[in-house]
Structure 1
């Protein structure tokens, strides 16, 4: 075989290897996030925390706050969620529903193969069965009925490899609509879920820092996309991500949301 043919085959092999690595990395990130969802569904918060990177810049951005480092992640999932939802247990409790469907994933792995970006849609069904409504802190709605609610949100996350294993690095969840099962979403009160307003340690379950961007229905601003348009290769203009009142000038609307760390 001629030397030029061997060189060409080597180049093809390198190219195919890179493509295969990219596909495998995308698959691993997809599995990581879906596994996160399955653990979260059943209140397996210890397992959730272990999915996050040990990197000092790791964080969770959630409802107006950032929980920084593995300690901040643990404070949110173990100290806050585990204590509030399942009274300190790691695992499900009878009669409490917390079901997350993870949908429409778009995953991009960078050229290094060590970092990835993922956008996902979450659709959550949650609530309590009437048999535990009198005991559970989320047991009843404003009308005294066993509480049932929906939530829709978008993740714009970053993932990194640590020692060859993909982990969640920068987690940004925007829970942008809620609705009670009985009333739907047209009657949802504003600020349905309270935003963080006090940081740790003044709030023992609070975030390490507060963030200005806050998004809840009926606010319909668009969560920015980590990727450019697939045809034009352009990012969406910031003004087009805003949501003015019907017929009003865009400059009257809240500022565009951001994926920046600052």
Structure 2
């Protein structure tokens, strides 16, 4: 009888371990889905120039940032300066919401999300294929005139859980390429979208700092992956992240891109 009770206790203990493991896995899966939903929500708000709503998705943390076109906007104030300041003033004359005849669609696709061991941080890689432009009916009233273009880019983001809610922590958007609708990406003019060149406060809507080695088409370097290869467990080699001229050695090319780190990780 005593041995049967001992065996039963062992089985119960093992079931408890299995249940705990399943709960941990379910919690991680839920967090992954919550982060994807957060990023998709960002895209929907951005589509309609709802820049206040976009800014409210970011964490109130000193290491929060947005990296865009070679500039880094730091902290929640930097985030607001980019979206509510620069973008709103440029595209919709300072309002929160769309203006008639102006298109900016930012679908968020191919999301790969990884949660850290304690469930407090996450990293995610997403792709965006943007269509943008103005309708001919507003060509004389909108500052962009009559224009239509394509854009493709990759996000390598970090997220943080604050008070039980997932928020965007460090958003890094790398617009890979732009192309006019009429001629396509093979004929994109140099500096079609200029990199950030002045910082805040010299530029009232500028970034806090400039990033090293910014990238635009026809530069085709690889944005580093936050995750290792799922089979080999290895990261992509540094030389393979570069994009040399056809037939040339990678050492002759622009240095590989490096993802910035929060100050607490440096």
TM-score range, shorter chain: over 0.9
User: Could you say which residue in structure 1 is the equivalent of 2:21?
Assistant: 15
Decide which moves more: 191-200 or 66-75: 191-200
The CA RMSD measured in Å over matched residues stands at 0.9
Residues 19-50 of structure 1 show CA distances to partners (whole Å, capped at 9, x for unaligned) of 00000000000000000000000000000000
User: Could you say which residue in structure 1 is the equivalent of 2:152?
Assistant: 152
User: Could you say which residue in structure 1 is the equivalent of 2:258?
Assistant: 258
| Alignment partners' CA distance in 1, 2:181 and 2:224 | 29
User: Could you say which residue in structure 2 is the equivalent of 1:119?
Assistant: 125
| Alignment partners' CA distance in 2, 1:213 and 1:105 | 25
Instruction: Give TM-score scaled by structure 1 length.
Output: 0.96
Give the deviation of 1:135 after TM superposition: 1.1
Q: Is the 8 A contact 1:117 1:159 kept in 2?
A: yes
Across the two proteins, how many residue pairs are aligned to each other?
A: 256
Of structures 1 and 2, the larger Rg is shown by: 2
Consecutive aligned runs of 4 or more in structure 1 exceeding 3 Å deviation: none
Give the deviation of 1:191 after TM superposition: 1.9
Give the deviation of 1:137 after TM superposition: 1.2
- Secondary structure, in 3 states, of the residue corresponding to 2:185? coil
Give the deviation of 1:260 after TM superposition: 2.6
Indicate which of 56, 63, 68 corresponds to 2:62. Answer: 56
Residues 112-170 of structure 1 show CA distances to partners (whole Å, capped at 9, x for unaligned) of 1010000001000000000001111111xxxxxx2000000000000000101000001
| Alignment partners' CA distance in 1, 2:197 and 2:99 | 29
User: Could you say which residue in structure 2 is the equivalent of 1:232?
Assistant: 232
User: Could you say which residue in structure 1 is the equivalent of 2:78?
Assistant: 72
Structure 2 unaligned regions, length at least 5: none
| Alignment partners' CA distance in 1, 2:125 and 2:155 | 5
| Alignment partners' CA distance in 1, 2:184 and 2:199 | 33
Which structure's residues are more often helix, by fraction? 2
User: Could you say which residue in structure 2 is the equivalent of 1:24?
Assistant: 30
Give the deviation of 1:85 after TM superposition: 0.3
- Secondary structure, in 3 states, of the residue corresponding to 2:107? strand
